[in-house]
Amino acid sequence: MTSYVKYNSMTEGEEFLDPPPSFQVSKEVVKKYLQSTQDVTVQLKQTTEVGECLAPPMLAAVYVIDALRTRVGPPGGIHGKQQFKFHRPAYIGETLYTSAQVLKLYEKKGRHYVEMATQTTNQQGELITTGMITRIWGQEP
């Protein structure tokens, strides 16, 4: 079983992705995402004026979750809330870096909640996505 992070081991304000992990926006990653979500948005099949191919805004769900993999709770945890701001779409071929911080830790109705803020930039430091995620932590045995 994959190792997981215990709720009590986290602290508010902790920046836990240092250095921020990288994520390659490849053609294959985008193709798999579009197929699995049945997204046929026309603009994603075109290239920009300078020949770049765009990734869907919600690919953020892939690279942000990938970055947060070092802060995964026990199996059974779920998403409570999600905020994203899409500054611009990522291009195929870009390398993205996501930094993250634990914002808030709290308990409600006997369950643990973890709020995290994320910021994703490309290899040149251009802002791609910012977000906030609230996870309901899985029950620890």
* Residue 96 binds other proteins, judged by CB under 8 A: no
Query: Do residues 133 and 78 touch, judged by C-beta distance below 8 A?
Result: no
* Residue 39 binds other proteins, judged by CB under 8 A: yes
Q: How far apart are CA 68 and CA 85, in angstroms?
A: 17
Q: Which of 15, 78, 107, 140 binds other proteins (CB under 8 A)?
A: 78
* Residue 127 binds other proteins, judged by CB under 8 A: no
* Residue 21 binds other proteins, judged by CB under 8 A: no
The owner of tokens 């099949």 is 45
Shorter beta-carbon distance to other proteins: residue 11 or 124: 124
* Residue 57 binds other proteins, judged by CB under 8 A: yes
Shorter beta-carbon distance to other proteins: residue 43 or 124: 43
Pick the stretch among 10-18, 85-93, 102-110, 112-120 that binds other proteins (CB under 8 A): 85-93
* Residue 25 binds other proteins, judged by CB under 8 A: no
Closest C-alpha to 91, from 55, 129, 127, 63: 55
CB contact set of 98 (below 8 Å; sequence gap of 6+): 17, 20, 21, 23, 63, 64, 66, 67, 68, 118, 119, 120
Could you give the string, one character per residue 106-125, with x where binding to other proteins holds by CB under 8 A and - elsewhere?
--------------------
Half-sphere CA count of 97, side-chain side, radius 13 A? 12
Neighbours of 102 (CB within 10 A): 17
Q: Which residues bind other proteins (CB under 8 A)?
A: 29, 32-33, 35-39, 41-43, 54, 56-58, 61-62, 65-66, 69, 75-89
